[in-house]
Chain A
Amino acid sequence: MKKFISILLTLLLTLSLFTACSSKTEEPAKEEPTAEKPAEATGVLPAIAKEDIKIGVIHIGNPADGSGYTFAHDQGIVGMQKALGLDDSQIIRKNNVNDTDPTATETAILECIEEGANIIFGTSWGYMDTMEALAEEYPEVIFSHGTGYKGNDANFNNYFGRIYQARYLSGIAAGLKTKSNLIGYVAAMGQDNSEVTGGINAFAMGVNSVNPDAKVYVKVTNSWFSPEEETNAAKALLAEGCDVIAQHCDTPNPQLEAEKAGAFGIGYNSDMSKDAPKATLTSAVWDWSAYYTWAVEQAINGTWTGENYYGGMKEGLVDIAPLNESIVAEGTAEAIEAARASILDGSFNVFDGVIETNDGKTVGEEGKTLDDATITNDIKWYYKTVTVK
């Protein structure tokens, strides 16, 4: 009997070796630029036929988590796949790739390239330097990096979006809802982080546009993802008397705390009324498929230029989740629609004109709006109604 088992196992092992050898023939597809179709001069790389497209996605988390950052990005990939009609085999996912580990990042990306990927999307900030270096080493592969600031105007670009537009709209919902005129905001990073601080300001301006008496209290967690800190921050803000809790952090915990306290909230990343149906008025959400679809289309059409992408509501990249009709204040939908229309037609850009800060100074000039470089890097002041707690 023992002998029989050992023979069986040996066979199994040998078999597995055989399968290994047989699949060895899968040579990595070489991306020799097959310049059959001379691309319409606008692109810097030759067009890639749709069936030859292969996309590598580097995720910091796991899409199976079901909500939050990685989930939102992966929904974007799924949306792009559907929109363009790509096959499952054309998408390679590398999950749980630690973005503070350059070797792990490089290994994951190289495995995608080895399997024939010609477009790599890296969704987390820390992948940036590794992608920059690999872009130089593999000039025929497109490297597209989310949330960073580097690019080479050829095969390496950066993508991000005007989430502040959505935050402005969500501020309207919060401003109309609050009774105590105190609104809490759980922020991942402090004043020096332009992305977070700009978001807070846009939100506070949205609040102010419908409710000039309301104040925004901010509590900083100093972490993008810290479930416990986010809960504690929300609790502290509720204790201060805030009755609407907005957030710029990864988990829905602030929404859950608001619901527990009988207060309301504004979610982020994905529609958090799924998590807190009795509290979440709406959420500032990303629809990454808008970018992913656009980017892959550029590659297919041969119009890829390697420009950095900074899309907004007009491109469909950012928006607010459908209003939670049973709990939003009366007139919310109308007020938001009016603001949305002005953003979409370009007559309003959120950071317009002279803006008063909370330390008594002003920013901006009459008749002008802050430029994109300032919005992405240099908003290091708070709007006049903001107080850090």
Chain B
Amino acid sequence: MSEKMKRTKEPLIRTVKIAERSKRETMKLRVIAFAMALLAGGLFILLIGFSPIELYGTIISGAFRSKMAIQATVKFMIPLLISSLGVTLAFKMRFWNIGAEGQIIMGAICSSYFALFHSDWPHALLLAAMFAAGFVGGGLWGLLPAYFKSKFETNETLFTLMLNYIALHIISFLRDGPWKDPGSSGFPKIARFEANAQIDKVLGVQFGWIIAILLVIVVYVYLKYTKHGYEISVVGESQSTAKYAGMNVKKIILRTMILSGGIAGITGMIQSAGSDMTLASSVAGGVGFTAIIVAWLANLNPVSILWVSFLFSVLEKGSSVMQSTYGISTYSAAVLQGIILFFILGCEFFIRYRFIVRGKGGVRQ
């Protein structure tokens, strides 16, 4: 009787955390996962009646086939890269900032104020003001949940998530009311920025890409070589340790969230003034959430983030070409992207954990 009880208690499959896998093993798992993703995606493509090899080829050629294509791929990459860097700062600290979306929007709103109402300022001054406004807007929106967390122990996951929706509705409010384009004959929209308030292009792409690359370096150095960066990782490992070492944990959390939100806010400024050329409700458009995936896939390493966000952009740009070339519906393309992501993300699980199947026969002691 007692043995029977014990038997039912042991699950058929258990997951066990793996201390560490060798680099080789990790690499092998990733390659297998990628191959399986292509295979499963290929099956799906066959099911909807196309040739997998042709379609995969189109995705890659669609992202690189010409100068314009490469420029568009880079354009996809800029917001994703910058906001991934932003959330990384928070995640390093084990602060679950899933509010990058809202921080991007607030950055965009604040910088748009200058773009819409001070477009007569000298170009460089205007862009600098917009840049600073973007940082401040996003930073304050990130500071809010951090303040409540450090003061009242609120749940930052829910707090940051909810702030996303508030930010989104602020755009709708501005669009339908105070910032409505007077020349739009009754239709609700915000005016397009004047050329003076638009970000200049370098090599055919808005110079946000230069800022993005600079930020990769800055965030890398900040996390790896500065006292602040060290404090962030200690707080992330254990707040008690940090306190014991005499660190001001509250201050570190507040400071880091201003930076995390601020970088997301820069995304908003760059996306609105460099790509949308207006304040659109789609300015974040899910990038703030994708950034979370990118940051974790890259193990919170800024340099890896550069590559991962690049691969994401290739997939995004390539699928768009694939859709129109083969007349595939947007939904099918989304399914295909989902399948590929599923395997790649699933692989991370197997890198960190393994299954132990309950032994046949006796019960393990």
Contacts and interface: CB of A to CB of B under 8 A. Distances in A.
B321 A27 contact: no
Nearest to B36: A9
Given A23-B65, A133-B192, A111 B282 contact: no
A129 B192 contact: yes
B275 A111 contact: no
A94 B282 contact: no
Interface in B277-291: 277-278, 280-282, 285
Interface in A92-124: 92-96, 98, 100-104, 106-108, 110-114
Nearest to A376: B185
Interface size grouping (class) on chain A: 35 or more
A96 B330 CA distance: 7
A5 B36 CA distance: 10
A125 interface: yes
A100 B187 contact: no
B69 interface: yes
A388 interface: no
Given A16-B60, A111-B321, A62 B276 contact: no
Interface in B107-166: none
Contact of A20 (B42, B60, B330): B60
Interface of A: 5-6, 9-10, 12-13, 15-21, 23-24, 26-28, 62, 64, 92-96, 98, 100-104, 106-108, 110-114, 125-126, 129-130, 132-133, 149, 192-194, 377
Contact of B53 (A12, A24, A28, A96): A12
- Interchain residue pairs A-B with the least CB separation, the first 7: A19-B57, A9-B35, A101-B282, A20-B60, A16-B56, A96-B330, A102-B276
A114 B69 contact: yes
Contacts, number: 126
Contacts of B192: 129, 132-133
A113 B192 CA distance: 22
A110 B53 contact: no
A133 B32 CA distance: 46
Interface string B303-336: 0000000000000010011011001011000000
A9 B57 contact: no
Given A95-B330, A101-B280, A102-B275, A110 B72 contact: yes
Contacts of A62: 329-330
Given A94-B324, A98-B282, A103-B285, 9 more contacts: A13-B35, A16-B56, A19-B57, A93-B327, A101-B285, A103-B276, A103-B280, A104-B282, A192-B186
B75 interface: yes
Contacts of A100: 280-282
Contact of A149 (B38, B57, B65, B185): B185
Contacts of B260: none
A258 B72 CA distance: 48
B62 to A, nearest CB: 8
B61 interface: yes
B54 interface: yes
A23 B57 CA distance: 8
A111 to B, nearest CB: 6
A131 to B, nearest CB: 11
B187 to A, nearest CB: 7
A16 B53 contact: yes
B210 interface: no
Nearest to B282: A101
Contacts of A27: 66
B340 to A, nearest CB: 13
Nearest to A106: B275
Given A103-B271, A125-B187, A149-B185, A111 B56 contact: no
23 contacts: A5-B35, A12-B35, A12-B52, A12-B53, A19-B54, A20-B58, A20-B61, A24-B61, A93-B324, A94-B324, A96-B329, A102-B275, A102-B277, A103-B75, A104-B282, A107-B75, A111-B320, A111-B324, A112-B324, A114-B65, A133-B192, A194-B186, A377-B185
Contacts of B75: 103, 107
B68 interface: yes
Contact of B57 (A16, A95, A112, A194): A16
A95 B245 CA distance: 57
A18 to B, nearest CB: 8
B38 A103 contact: no
Given A98-B282, A125-B187, A28 B57 contact: no
B350 interface: no
A92 B69 CA distance: 16
B186 A17 contact: no
Given A10-B35, A64-B329, A102-B275, A20 B72 contact: no
Contacts of A106: 275
Nearest to A101: B282
Contacts of A126: 189
Contacts of B321: 111
Interface string B165-204: 0000000000000000000011101001000000000000
Contacts of B327: 93
A114 B321 CA distance: 10
B60 A17 contact: yes
A125 B192 CA distance: 15
Given A64-B329, A111-B324, A149-B185, A15 B271 contact: no
B12 interface: no
Contacts of B280: 100-103
B96 interface: no
Nearest to B66: A28
A6 B72 contact: no
A111 B320 CA distance: 9
Interface in B1-44: 31-32, 34-36, 38-39, 42
A114 B54 CA distance: 20
B53 A15 contact: yes
A170 B278 CA distance: 41
B64 interface: yes
A28 B71 CA distance: 14
Contact of A92 (B53, B61, B186, B324): B324
A111 B72 contact: yes
B319 to A, nearest CB: 11
